[in-house]
Amino acid sequence: MVKVLIVDDSAFMRNALASMLSSDPEIQVIGKARDGVEGIELVEKLRPDIVTMDVEMPRMDGIAALKHIMEKNPVPVIMVSSITTEGAKVTLDALDLGAVDFIPKNLSDLSINIVKIREILIDKIKHIARKGIVKRRIRPVTASKTIEIPKSMPVRITGERRINLVSIGTSTGGPKALQEIIPKLPKDFPTPIVIAQHMPPNFTGPFAERLNQLSQITVKEAEEGEPLKNGVAYIAPGRGHMRVKRPRGIETVIAISENKEEFIYRPSVDALMSSVAEFFPGRALGVILTGMGNDGLKGLIELKKTGGRIFAQNEETCVVYGMPKAVVDAGIADKVLSIEEMAGEIINAV
């Protein structure tokens, strides 16, 4: 039985979340708190397996409560955030402080998709609660802590297959995982990097800006039609699905589709990886990181068939070992790596 504590100043949201979660026989809502102060008290008293934490609350907000909980009684915390640019920045701060994921504050507005939302929320709660706190908490990288990497890339042995593009897919736990990888890449990284991270539309821009500030390479939210450049990481915008294409036969550019298509998650990792397989056959590295479900498996199978290489994050360092597990179980991963090893192995691969 997964024991959940809900912390939110809105009685409506407390009841809405409790109703959705309690519909699953394996989940028990053991308490509800109206603000951060009550939340801290109930975490210590009730010892929940997981906490949902509102960001904006009276007396003590979610960020202050999160700091206290992670210092005194560490437990997985999912932030409940408003889907605004400002809400995105605060939520990213929370992820840096130890929150494992977030859910949209406006769950109640999406009544047409309420069944699907409930399924995703319940699945997320179960997976994160059972995994618990990842042993090594990934901390934000600062310039002073950046690892030493040679300024020039190693000389490639003649005849060794060339990687021309790195493609990364991730979901739950992805923001912290990407902060463990991208800032460690050298300024003269020799290929473009394309990234599909499951995120709402207003979140991907601020996330790209944050990664750019931490990194030696350029990181930006991808735009329709822009050409791929070496040493630039392109974050798929949350409003649609990102692909690579070669419309003029020579220059590879970004393509953004805002159609829902057949994919459950947006932006879709499968959509990105399939396009990479098509336009970079045998010349791409696919990286699959922490996340729920199996988004990316289909696209990476296609990538593998073309002769591409695949790296998967290991179970021990994943917040949710879903997406990498699907790839590992399919037998297509060339290497299974801890998040701490990933940046170095990517550098060696290109």
pLDDT of residue 250: 77
Clarify whether residues 69 and 163 are in a common domain. Answer: no
Q: What angle (nearest 5°) sits at the alpha carbon of residue 141, between those of residues 287 and 319?
A: 50
Residue 290 and residue 206 in one domain = yes
Inter-residue contact 323 to 170 (CB < 8 Å): yes
Residues 6, 29 contacting (CB under 8 angstroms): yes
- The question of whether 171 is a catalytic residue gets the answer yes
Q: Which of 81, 171, 215, 275 is catalytic?
A: 171
pTM of the model: 0.87
CA distance 205 to 84: 11
Q: What are the tens digits of pLDDT across the range 196-222?
A: 999 988 899 999 999 999 999 999 999
Question: For residue 273, which phi and psi values (nearest 5 degrees)?
Answer: -65, -35
- The pLDDT of residue 107 is 54
CA atoms within 13 A on the CB side of 7: 33
Residues 74 and 149 in one domain: no
Structural domain harbouring 185: 143-349
> Same structural domain for residues 220 and 305?
yes
Of 262, 247, 273, nearest to 167 (Cα)?
Answer: 273
Q: Let me know whether 341 and 233 are in one domain.
A: yes
| Residue 138, domain member (yes or no) | no
The tens-digit pLDDT sequence of the chain (350 residues) is 999 999 999 998 899 899 999 999 999 999 999 999 999 999 999 999 999 999 999 999 999 999 999 999 999 999 988 767 777 889 899 999 999 998 877 654 445 456 767 888 899 999 999 888 765 444 444 433 333 433 333 444 333 458 999 999 999 999 999 999 999 999 999 999 999 999 988 899 999 999 999 999 999 999 999 999 999 999 999 999 999 999 877 789 999 998 777 777 789 999 999 999 999 999 999 999 999 999 999 999 999 999 999 999 999 999 999 999 999 999 999 999 999 999 999 999 99
Do 154 and 47 share a structural domain?
A: no
Our answer to whether residue 24 is catalytic in this structure is: no
CATH for 250: 3.40.50.180
Backbone angles phi, psi at 257, to 5 degrees: -110, 125
Pairing label, strands 241-245, 253-257 = antiparallel
Catalytic (active site) residue 96: no
Asked if 22 and 156 sit in the same domain, the reply is no
Residue 266 forms part of a structural domain: yes
CATH number at residue 122: 3.40.50.2300
The answer to whether the bond into 267 is cis (omega within 30° of 0) is yes
Tally of structural domains, the chain: 2
Instruction: Return d(Cα 232, Cα 190) in angstroms, integer.
Output: 9
Q: Which of 105, 103, 129, 109 is nearest to 26 (CA)?
A: 129
In a domain, 53, yes or no: yes
- Is residue 137 domain-resident? no
**Residue that is written with structure tokens 């800006």 in the block:** 209
**Per-residue confidence (pLDDT) for residue 260, from 0 to 100:** 73
d(C-alpha 235, C-alpha 237), whole Å: 6
Tokens 């030493």 label which residue? 148
Indicate the pairing of strand 165-170 with strand 77-81.
unpaired
Residues 40 and 102 in one domain: yes
Q: Are residue 301 and residue 328 in the same domain, yes or no?
A: yes
Name the residue type at position 302: E
Within this chain, do residues 127 and 148 fall inside the same structural domain, yes or no? no
Q: Over the stretch 118-143, which tens digit does the pLDDT of each residue have?
A: 888 899 999 999 888 765 444 444 43
Distance, CA of 288 to CA of 149 (rounded, Å): 23
Considering the domain architecture, whether residues 111 and 155 belong to the same structural domain is answered as no
Domain boundary among 131, 153, 178: 131
**Do 93 and 165 belong to one domain?**
no
Of 8, 9, 35, 198, catalytic: 198
Among 9, 49, 101, 295, the active-site one is: 295
DSSP reduced 3-state for 249: coil
